[in-house]
Structure 1
């Protein structure tokens, strides 16, 4: 068996902690920015929606740019960590400006600082995830790293979900509450980034005799069938999860019909279950494999959605079971596929002699964002077409049926499609160890490789 070069527990903690800070602003941005600019600033929903859509376009196309730059252009602090720091500074400043618009801020102000925020986030997440893939060379070690990182990320989401309750006790106005989120992220993020810089090692980019975008290397990506298969399953399952997350509050409010506090408790249960399930997912992947563990857990989530048609008004405990199991499955979705992504990058390293984890995780990020865009772009128009309303009036049975189908039936079908791709996935622990042995015997010098 290929021997693990273990990352120390201190380095692992230092690597994972920034994920909490990076995740804290995500929910507040999604909730507060549209209302702030459409209503408080008087820009209107149509204009705000168009501006945010354009900003998201820049967000998506910035992924490959961030991957290429972090792969090829190291700065004094390192190939990954420098870009993480610069991206965090840009995202933090963009977040501050978005949440503190001056009087008379127009649509160009919203567009400019949304682009700064989203592109900054991209320059954080792409190098950060690629860095994690390079911290371990072994099958189970990569699961350990992604599990720690994603646990911290979900904890950041939980902090963001309870922050409004904590800030409400301080009797702050709306602007001060928004700034409170910025300061919470800053207080978490600053020490976490300092520990990241000081305590986490980074693999230097080896010398290369080949151009980064040679025809042969690009063909290697296209022919990396396991990468294509994995990212397709990731996209399908990501679309399923996006539908579940964006429709969960609507389902609780209009089908379960419970008070606001119960809704918040169920949403908290969903994300808390993801954190609590992560150690179980890591242990299961050691007993089986990453792809089979992921498939088993996706199957459990898909079957749990069969309970959703049984949920009626007031059925809190039955729906709590749905939230707990599907939330636990979210933990596996966050931890296991990125660890598998690190494994398929070994195939590219073997065939191209290049370190391009940043570029691969850029494609991964694009698939994630496209999945969310597809979920939003399909779910809300379909609900609108059936007459679904959020103005307090009673929804018709067809509208509620469409909500149930989009929240449960479609995600279950998408997850089963992802399971079909993953169940017989051939990159097992044994094959990955064979890949690492071949890579360890490869000459490190480009001149030696050319002569080999």
Structure 2
């Protein structure tokens, strides 16, 4: 298999094949954000505070692991490539963690949950990091990155739709909510190895040449965080993940006890939310090629917030009335991650030009860490908040009017506030399309010089082929 030319965009077929890893990633992120915490609390009987503590502990432990994984990935050089190797490692870890979580029974200890949540999160981290960093090497221009990461987001929607369809089908067949969640986990376990195999088989990988004598220093790591563009991205990513994550953490409770939907009806609305991303993420990529990635992200946050407010005026128990709101919010939310990751890929070029070394894995590890902090925060903050306002998930409609009103305002206010903060981070964003094009031009010139290499017969120690397929 021959890697594509340096300036040729990846074909649509290859892009779709590479995006296969997005299937289990999107599925498991949705499951652990919306269904699994509620499953442990309502079906297994683990107290809300204990569920929050287990997820918070895992996220806290996982945060310093992210940069270490990024550094290891960037330093990996093998005949099979750099990020392909890590894809092979990540899929089995994800499968093992999910399989062991299936064994959680009523009375399960917090230690058991933490141990296997950690294994699951490690597998997720490896797959997300390797996939994003690999994608950054496949795209060779500002607009091509918006296209590739947009398609990756759209393909991920298919995996999320599959995981959402399962509890709907299970409920209609007479199965319990708990059985539906367990079926979702089996779906992800089966999907992970298939998608990883497709990516490994069909996607080329290029390892860019590096100037000799370049070593990673502590100040280089500091430069990644303090880079003007990257610092804004990290703050924005924290807010843009926390907003929808906050909403997701409370979605089932709000839908069931405030909007008076059944669990199956709530999942139908989630299907519309997720399916909107099938076209929403690629559309965000397309809009970014017209107005810039940071402006596209700002526009998306405004549309999301306005649509969310409309929930205050919708009739209770009417699924059809809620479909437009869920579709619009899902449409624009799908672009958040795609745009952020495409922007990080641009920063990776800037850093490689400055430092002479590939830092994509480490850079993506920083955004993955902020995303995990945000997703954990959505549970750490909202679940104790529900307990504070007197809401009890076991009581359902039996909660007091005051508790249900508190649930409503918590559900709406959190996402709107954090999305506004995320949009503010991109005011005056410096890494524009023009700057990104100039960086790519300088990198292309330097890579061409380095690829010419030393005189014939002189091979540096540790050299690897530039193209691994």
Give the TM-score range, shorter chain: 0.7 to 0.9
| Structure 2: gaps spanning 5 or more residues | 1-5, 455-469
1:290 equivalent to 2:293? Answer yes
Partner of 1:433: 437
TM-score (norm 1): 0.87
Per the TM alignment, residue 230 of structure 1 is displaced from its structure 2 partner at its CA by: 1.5
Distance 1:297 1:51, change over 3 A: closer
Distance 1:403 1:52, change over 3 A: closer
Distance 1:439 1:209, change over 3 A: same
Q: What CA distance in whole angstroms lies between the structure 2 residues aligned with 1:273 and 1:103?
A: 36
TM-score (norm 2): 0.84
Q: Could you say what the CA RMSD is over the residues aligned between the two structures, in angstroms?
A: 3.2
Q: What CA distance in whole angstroms lies between the structure 2 residues aligned with 1:424 and 1:401?
A: 38
1:385 equivalent to 2:388? Answer yes
Asked if structure 2 preserves the Cα contact closer than 8 Å seen for 1:94 and 1:116, the reply is yes
Q: What CA distance in whole angstroms lies between the structure 2 residues aligned with 1:265 and 1:192?
A: 25
Partner of 2:406: 402
Distance 1:68 1:115, change over 3 A: same
Partner of 1:125: 128
Q: What CA distance in whole angstroms lies between the structure 1 residues aligned with 2:80 and 2:30?
A: 31
Asked if structure 2 preserves the Cα contact closer than 8 Å seen for 1:227 and 1:341, the reply is yes
Q: Tell me, what secondary structure is at the counterpart of 2:422?
A: helix
Q: Tell me, what secondary structure is at the counterpart of 2:396?
A: coil
Per the TM alignment, residue 38 of structure 1 is displaced from its structure 2 partner at its CA by: 9.2
Per the TM alignment, residue 103 of structure 1 is displaced from its structure 2 partner at its CA by: 12
Partner of 1:281: 284
Distance 1:47 1:401, change over 3 A: closer
- CA deviation digits over 1:267-298, x for unaligned, max 9? 21111112232332222222222111221121
1:156 equivalent to 2:156? Answer no
1:16 equivalent to 2:23? Answer no
Q: What CA distance in whole angstroms lies between the structure 1 residues aligned with 2:369 and 2:329?
A: 24
Partner of 2:419: 415
- CA deviation digits over 1:42-94, x for unaligned, max 9? 88776665444433333222211211111102344221010111111122122
1:48-87 correspondence runs (5 A): 50-87=53-90
Q: What CA distance in whole angstroms lies between the structure 2 residues aligned with 1:105 and 1:263?
A: 28
Alignment: residue pair count: 446
Asked if structure 1 preserves the Cα contact closer than 8 Å seen for 2:170 and 2:176, the reply is no
Distance 1:60 1:327, change over 3 A: same
Asked if structure 1 preserves the Cα contact closer than 8 Å seen for 2:73 and 2:361, the reply is yes
| More displaced stretch, 108-117 vs 349-358 | 108-117
- CA deviation digits over 1:163-198, x for unaligned, max 9? 234456888899987775455335433333222112
Q: What CA distance in whole angstroms lies between the structure 1 residues aligned with 2:106 and 2:298?
A: 52
Q: Tell me, what secondary structure is at the counterpart of 1:355?
A: coil
Q: What CA distance in whole angstroms lies between the structure 1 residues aligned with 2:338 and 2:316?
A: 34
| Structure 1: gaps spanning 5 or more residues | none
| More displaced stretch, 302-311 vs 227-236 | 302-311
Correspondent of 1:96 among 59, 77, 99: 99
Distance 1:318 1:46, change over 3 A: closer
Partner of 1:366: 369
Asked if structure 2 preserves the Cα contact closer than 8 Å seen for 1:20 and 1:157, the reply is yes
Q: What CA distance in whole angstroms lies between the structure 1 residues aligned with 2:423 and 2:41?
A: 41
